[in-house]
Amino acid sequence: MSIQNDHDPSKLVAETPCKLLRYLVADDSHVDADTPYAEVEVMKMCMPLLSPASGNIHFKMSEGQAMQVFSILFHIGSTGAQIVEDK
């Protein structure tokens, strides 16, 4: 699975279709960089996703939802979360 950071550590964009299995942290909670925050399934494999930066995380998708290419999974901010629309 390929997840694109898009040179912006405040959002994570899927480059490959996959399914969001579950979140490992609560919405709008603080996460540290390189901490697992969600699990996805791609090609029958379960993979953890690591936060690219520290901050408050706000999820854009629901657990169990299919992620299409270029879907934005979350937005992370240092002072609070903001919603980012899909491309």
Q: What is the pLDDT of residues 49-80, one digit of tens each?
A: 888 888 999 888 899 999 888 888 887 886 44
At residue 15, the pLDDT reads: 78
pLDDT in tens, 15-46: 788 899 999 999 999 999 899 999 999 889 99
Q: Which two tokens stand for residue 41?
A: 């399934």
Question: CB-based contacts of 58: which residues, under 8 Å, 6+ apart?
Answer: 27, 28, 74, 75, 76, 77, 81, 82, 83
Domains, the chain, with CATH or none:
3-77 (2.40.50.100)
At residue 7, the pLDDT reads: 59
Q: What angle do CA 86, 28, 45 make, to 5 degrees?
A: 65
Q: pTM for the full model?
A: 0.71
Strands (E) across 1-87 are located at 3-4, 11-14, 18-23, 30-31, 36-42, 45-50, 55-59, 66-67, 72-77
At residue 21, the pLDDT reads: 95
Q: Which residue has the higher pLDDT, 11 or 79?
A: 11
Q: Is residue 55 within 8 Å of 10, Cβ to Cβ?
A: yes
